[in-house]
């Protein structure tokens, strides 16, 4: 072994090696190589304790064949020499392995390994694993050698502990990143099934859970709606049961009933567990999805390993379940708002029908009666005047009816996009009303649904104004854009108005145009003057 100076030099080298990295595998391999070199041996390894499985696993080794590693891997506490050191926290020296009754696996005798030294890897009064060295010949490990190994075990233990802490911090950072990413992606989705599908896919991909699923409450049952992972991707797997009685069947039914998370480290020990045949599930973590304190569903993760989840998994799943609840509630509110908007739109159309078309039809009746009286009095010239007024009123009523009928159609924007919707509107209403229409529409713009809908509503309001109030004979509509912005411009040659006065008076639907422009974070310009026509231009971010 050499002098004390050699021992300190070796420990200093080990300290230097383990302090230069937070990569666990690099730390273990480098430290093991330094220790083997110091005691002039070629064979050894490092076990680390896995809290989830409750067993020791070979994390680094040198000089062993793969089949030997398989034989000595996965030791229980108290099993074998390293298992006993892990249990006691004390070093162990065996002069002749083959003659020791404590040897739990016979392969060591078969490969001819002879002497053994095992020391614990310790940090903060906690044993994290073991360092073991093996000699092919009989060897008495000197006291100085053992002191070196014990000190090396402490240094490696501290380095392992630091690497664990660093890995835990990295995992926690990744967990928060995924939680934020899930929140970012699902908050803009207004369809509940799409929300649920996105959540399970993101969670399964980010954390590698073998099976992730969401069940929603329907009457007295929790019904699985979406899933991701091995089970859902296997076409031969029959996800059964897919409906669980709330409060009576399985972990899902229990969580749906109590609103409390349930973790089963070993599902075989839970009498209420409902097995899905062929799943191979051994542990399960299920959390509630709650809105206003009441469970509306559950988020479920399963693993084919025992004790596969920990407190951080519980934190992640519950946080994601809470975000899912918010997104589901938003989608429900959006659906309700859509339904309310439909009712309000019907009421608006009914008012417009009464205010415009009904009044026009009443006017047509009056003009027809007046013309009839003039004809009876043989006053053809006055009768012609009444018929001329009747014709104008009828044309106005026809324009109003076309406008209302077009607005009652299903949204072309949702079905085909902004450009086809604008073309359809101009062809169905303005051109048929006899206006001269010029269109310059960029067919290659890639716009979000929100921007398309907002721009269409602005164009619709501007075109309605030109048709109903401005008495325009010409309409020009331009739509263009770049990767960063899109511009919509509507011109009419109608009567025009003073913008400030019109905005202040709340007329011509300008309030709606201004409000929609603000929602799109757009820059709106209204250029108009009596007798000079009107140009409305809006430039919005392309996002």
Contact 149, 35 (CB under 8 A): yes
Residues 157 and 225 in one domain: no
Asked if residue 59 is part of any domain, the answer here is yes
Q: Do residue 206 and residue 115 come from a single domain?
A: no
- Specify the pLDDT at position 437: 92
Question: Mean per-residue pLDDT for 478-483?
Answer: 89
Task: Give the DSSP per-residue string, 330-394.
Answer: HHHHHHHHHHHHHHHHHHHHHHHIIIIIIHHHHHHHHHHHHHHHHHHTT-HHHHHHHHHHHHHHH
Nearest CA to 262 out of 238, 291, 295 is that of 295
Residue 410, C-beta contacts closer than 8 angstroms, at least 6 positions apart? none
Check pLDDT > 90 for residue 361. no
Q: Residue 397 falls within a domain, yes or no?
A: no
Residue scoring higher pLDDT (347 or 68): 68
Is residue 373 assigned to a domain?
Answer: no
* Same-domain status, 322 and 436: no
The pLDDT of residue 396 is: 67
- Return the higher-pLDDT residue of 289 and 361: 289
Q: Which of 321-330, 352-361, 378-387 has the highest mean pLDDT?
A: 321-330
Same domain, 18 and 111: yes
The yes-or-no verdict on residue 409 having pLDDT over 60 is no
Find the range with the poorest average confidence among 38-42, 232-236, 415-419, 493-497. 232-236
Last residue of a domain, one of 277, 302, 328: 328
- 148 and 253 part of one domain: no
Element (H, E) at 318: helix 311-352
Confidence label for 24 from pLDDT (cuts 50, 70 and 90): confident
CA atoms within 13 A on the CB side of 203: 32
Number of folded domains that form the chain: 3
Where does the pLDDT of residue 410 fall: very low under 50, low under 70, confident under 90, or very high at 90 and above? very low
Number of C-alpha atoms within 13 angstroms, CB side, residue 226?
16
Q: Say if 136 falls within a structural domain.
A: yes
CA proximity to 523, closest of 533, 512, 513, 532: 513
Q: Is residue 126 part of a domain?
A: yes
The whole-number pLDDT of residue 307 equals 86
Residue 236 belongs to what domain range? 191-328
Q: Distance between CA atoms of 75 and 56, rounded to whole angstroms?
A: 5
Indicate the average pLDDT of the chain.
Answer: 81
**489, pLDDT greater than 90:** yes
Check which CATH number belongs to the domain holding 252 and give it.
Answer: 3.30.450.40
What's the rounded mean pLDDT across residues 144-171? 86
Please tell me whether residues 18 and 162 are part of one structural domain: yes
For the entire predicted model, the pTM comes to: 0.54
Upstream peptide bond of 127 is cis (omega within 30 degrees of 0): no
> For residue 415, how many C-alpha atoms fall within 13 Å in the half-sphere facing its CB?
8
My answer on whether 211 and 154 are in the same domain is no
Per-residue pLDDT tens over the stretch 214-263: 999 988 888 888 888 877 777 666 666 678 888 888 888 999 999 999 99
362: pLDDT confidence band, cut at 50, 70 and 90?
low
Together in a domain, 237 and 137: no
Is residue 294 a part of any domain in this protein?
yes
For 304-313, 463-472, 516-525, which range has the lowest pLDDT when averaged over its residues?
463-472
Identify whether 356 is part of a domain: no
Q: Are residues 531 and 490 in the same domain?
A: yes
Whether residues 18 and 93 fall in one domain: yes
pLDDT (0 to 100) of residue 367: 66
Instruction: For residues 315-322, give the mean pLDDT.
Output: 88
Whether residues 152 and 278 fall in one domain: no
**Of 207 and 334, the one with more pLDDT:** 207
Identify the domain boundary among 296, 328, 360.
328
Residue 347 lies in a domain: no
Residue with the larger pLDDT of the pair 49 and 502? 49
Mean pLDDT of 93-102: 76
């Amino acid at each position: 072994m050499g002098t004390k100076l050699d021992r300190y030099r070796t420990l200093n080298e080990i300290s230097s090696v383990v302090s230069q990295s937070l990569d666990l595998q690099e730390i273990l391999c480098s430290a093991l190589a330094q220790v083997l070199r110091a005691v002039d041996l070629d064979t050894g390894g490092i076990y680390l304790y896995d809290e989830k499985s409750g067993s020791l696993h070979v994390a680094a080794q040198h000089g062993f064949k793969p089949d030997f590693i398989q034989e000595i891997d996965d030791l229980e506490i108290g099993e074998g020499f390293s298992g006993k050191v892990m249990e006691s926290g004390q070093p162990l020296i065996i002069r002749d392995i083959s003659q020791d009754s404590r040897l739990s696996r016979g392969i060591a005798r078969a490969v001819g390994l002879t002497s053994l030294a095992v020391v614990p890897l310790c940090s903060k009064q906690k044993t994290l694993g073991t360092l073991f060295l093996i000699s092919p010949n009989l060897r008495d490990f000197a006291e100085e050698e053992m002191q070196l190994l014990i000190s090396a075990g402490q240094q490696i233990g501290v380095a392992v502990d630091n690497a664990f802490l660093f890995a835990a911090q990295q995992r926690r950072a990744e967990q928060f990143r995924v939680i934020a990413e899930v929140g970012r992606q699902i908050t803009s989705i207004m369809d509940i099934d799409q929300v649920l599908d996105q959540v399970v896919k993101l969670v399964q991909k980010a954390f590698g859970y073998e099976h992730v699923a969401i069940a929603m409450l329907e009457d007295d049952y929790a019904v699985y709606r979406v899933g991701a992972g091995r089970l859902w991707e296997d076409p031969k797997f029959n996800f059964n049961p897919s409906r669980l009685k709330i409060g009576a069947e399985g972990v899902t039914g229990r969580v749906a009933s109590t609103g409390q998370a349930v973790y089963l480290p070993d599902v075989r020990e839970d009498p209420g567990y409902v097995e899905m045949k062929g799943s191979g599930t051994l542990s399960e973590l299920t959390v509630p999805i709650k809105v206003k304190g009441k469970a509306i569903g559950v988020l479920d993760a399963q693993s084919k390993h025992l004790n596969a989840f920990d407190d951080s998994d519980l934190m992640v799943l519950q946080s994601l379940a809470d975000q899912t609840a918010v997104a589901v509630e938003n989608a429900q509110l959006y659906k309700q708002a859509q339904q309310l908007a439909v009712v309000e739109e019907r009421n608006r159309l009914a008012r417009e029908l009464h205010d415009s078309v009904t009044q026009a039809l009443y006017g047509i009746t009056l003009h027809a009666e007046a013309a009839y009286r003039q004809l009876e009095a043989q006053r053809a010239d006055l009768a012609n005047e009444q018929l001329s007024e009747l014709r104008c009123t009828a044309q106005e009523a026809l324009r109003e009816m076309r406008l209302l009928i077009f607005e009652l159609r299903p949204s072309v924007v949702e079905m085909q996009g902004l450009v086809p919707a604008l073309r359809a509107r101009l062809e169905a209403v303005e051109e048929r009303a006899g206006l001269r229409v010029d269109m310059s529409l960029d067919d290659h713009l890639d716009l979000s649904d929100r921007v398309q809908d907002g721009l269409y509503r602005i164009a619709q309001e501007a075109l309605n104004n030109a048709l109903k109030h401005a008495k325009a004979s010409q309409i020009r509509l331009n739509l263009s854009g770049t990767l960063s912005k899109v511009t919509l411009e509507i011109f009419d040659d109608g009567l025009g108005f003073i913008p400030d006065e019109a905005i202040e008076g709340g007329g011509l639907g300008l309030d709606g145009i201004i409000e929609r422009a603000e929602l799109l974070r757009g820059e709106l310009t209204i250029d108009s003057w009596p007798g000079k026509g009107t140009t409305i231009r809006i430039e919005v971010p392309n996002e």
